[in-house]
Amino acid sequence: MKKIGLYIILLVFISCNSEKKEGEIKETQVAVSNTFLERVEPPNWWVGFTNDTLQLLVKEENIGNSKPAISYKGITINKIHKAKSNNYLFIDLTINKNTKPGKFDIVFTLNDNSKKTHTYELKPRKKSADEYIGFNSSDAIYLITPDRFANGNSKNDSFQSLKETGVDRNDDYKRHGGDLEGIINHLDYIENLGFTAIWPTPVLINDMPNASYHGYAMTDYYKVDPRFGTLDDYKKLSSELSKRGMKLIMDQVANHCGLEHWWMKDLPFDNWVNYQSHYEKNKENWSWKTVKHSNHKRTTNQDLYASEIDAKENTEGWFVSDMPDLNQRNPFMASYIIQNSIWWIETLGLGGIRQDTYPYPDKKFMANWVNAIMNEYPNFSIVGEEWSYNPLLIGYWQKGKKNRDGYQSNLKSTMDFAMQKNVVDALNEPEKWNKGLVKIYEGLANDFHYKTPKDILIFPDNHDKSRIYTQLKEDVVNTKMALATYSVLPRILQVYYGTEILMDDTAKPGDHGLIRTDFPGGWEGDKINAFTKNGLSKEQIEMQSFVSKLLTYRKKSKAIQEGKTVHFAPKEGVYVLFRKYEDEVVVLILNKNDKPYVLDLNRFKEMNLKGKTFKNIITNKTTVWQDSLLLNKKGSLLLTTKQ
């Protein structure tokens, strides 16, 4: 047996098999000589969870022929599962609630009576379950594509051991060198803008041959991509945010992995990924032409008339040819994904999870996944990506919704693509009875369909959609109107990095590489530096200031975070919305008139505001609410009773 170290021991191992209970403790012990197997995942665990079970995935050549044993007080091996591949073993453990943190050896006895050992660790939890506080309507989330934000450490730009090497900032689909350290270095900037949380797109390793920068083709669910930094860097980002009272949201993917994921070379079961046999038959000439793609018919999750084949192709088809579709109906895969999510929550002290492509995985599994997390972290938050412009579909996924099919997702938050589009249409369209600002009015009226509207996430743009400045035809006034609207709606707010300096993708609208443009000033030698304002245009500086003032106020506004919402139908190109909490009233006025317009305030007398003094949130100028208000020019007006 190969040895990598020797420890003083007092140890009695109990041999075990899949037919009998194991782990009765005879003596206390410490770790013995250790061969460190190829993989044991999760790589560690914690004591004190509500769920006292843990399933270990063990990967090692011919490990399927072995019998594992553990002798550690409080741990019992309940069952051992062999996989189709003899290089895997799955071990079901029970961890007694009184189990102490510590290290112990798992000893694997092979057929020839030789042994291999692996040291495993149970850690103490750093904080109680109740202390994991998720994001909510009080938060403004800054979404970042790490490769394109800031390069804090140029030494980690490229690794010869990885399939894609080098950086090329002139190619929108190559690596540009941004990393976790770059985000950490600019937390002051993000905090000063008024943001309370950061959502980086995935930073786990994507060891793919090309276009690996985005992070959504993971090749190891427990490893940080070294081009983004280390696990310690990831932990530091979380801890630095916590010191500021801010939260870290992790972007996770339960639907698919990258084609170069380590297990694709040796899959444990025939149904580990969907259409696995089809892939294995065509592996040598695999391409977008041979893959069985998802049909992207997400409505099959709710459709009373959906055919079985349509539903199957949505859930089981591959998202793209280099992203294998994970089969969450395989119970071992299901456990793997759930435990991985919990491992990252505990390791990083997360303030939330954003789950990618939410309607694509098996929806029964997704409900179980959310439930497993929320059972451990009752104050946690998860938002699911449902890219739909239909509020019926968005509402279906929210916890508490009484769906006709009886489905309960357990998911607190989903993404509001519908309202995002309504605001854009409202500002781009000419004013007519069925166009323009009425899109916001009628869109917000759909909130009756949502169980808790304020738990839904709204956004002007993100890493998959055109920049809001491009969507609004590079109209600065309309962009400010949009941001003001998104910020005061009864929603959680998310803003994409660079929106505050009018970044655009107008040259190629919708092109992902261009949408995810480098943030100016994030690289040494950049001629324009948005962090310092050096080289920014007057309009860009004004937009930065606008966003900072808006979000700084939002951060402390109970009216925006929790208040009652009242809005009035748009009239003559003006839309007025109120948010009220106790004595605080926030008023949003959207005015599309190019010429001066006198707004009759008597129309809003039910709000009981006459004689009250309001302050302009952006300019700090005050005005008294009387019979009328002169709107000098097109734009947004944000007023508050808080002085």
The two beta strands, 492-496 and 140-144, are parallel
356 in active site: yes
Q: Give 198's strand partners.
A: 142, 248
Separation in Å, CA 192 to CA 61, 189, 445, 517, 550: 52, 5, 33, 22, 11
- 479 is written with which tokens? 């962009």
Work out whether the CA dihedral 28, 31, 32, 35 comes out positive or negative: positive
- Give me the phi and psi of 483, to 5 degrees please: -65, -40
Secondary structure of residue 561 in the 3-state scheme: helix
308 in active site: no
Q: Which of 172, 220, 260, 356 is catalytic?
A: 356
Element (H, E) at 39: strand 39-41
Q: Which of 325, 362, 385, 526 is catalytic?
A: 385
Tokens 């690289």 belong to residue: 523
Q: Is 415 exposed, middle or buried (0-12, 13-18, 19+ CB in 10 A)?
A: buried
Classify residue 500 by its DSSP letter: G
Q: How far apart are CA 636 and CA 401, in angstroms?
A: 34
Determine if the peptide bond prior to 509 is cis (ω within 30°).
no
- DSSP per-residue string spanning 40-84: EESS-EES--SS-EEEEEEE-TTGGG-EEEE--TTEEEEEEEE-S
Q: Give 565's strand partners.
A: 579
> Helices 331-348 & 363-376, crossing angle to 10 degrees?
40
Closest CA to 392 of 374, 418, 372, 412: 418
Q: How far apart are CA 92 and CA 533, in angstroms?
A: 56
Q: E-assigned strands of 214-274? A: 247-252
CA atoms within 13 A on the CB side of 300: 20
Q: How far apart are CA 429 and CA 202, in angstroms?
A: 36
Alpha-helix runs per DSSP H in 525-627: 538-556, 558-562
- Indicate which residues carry an active-site annotation: 356, 385
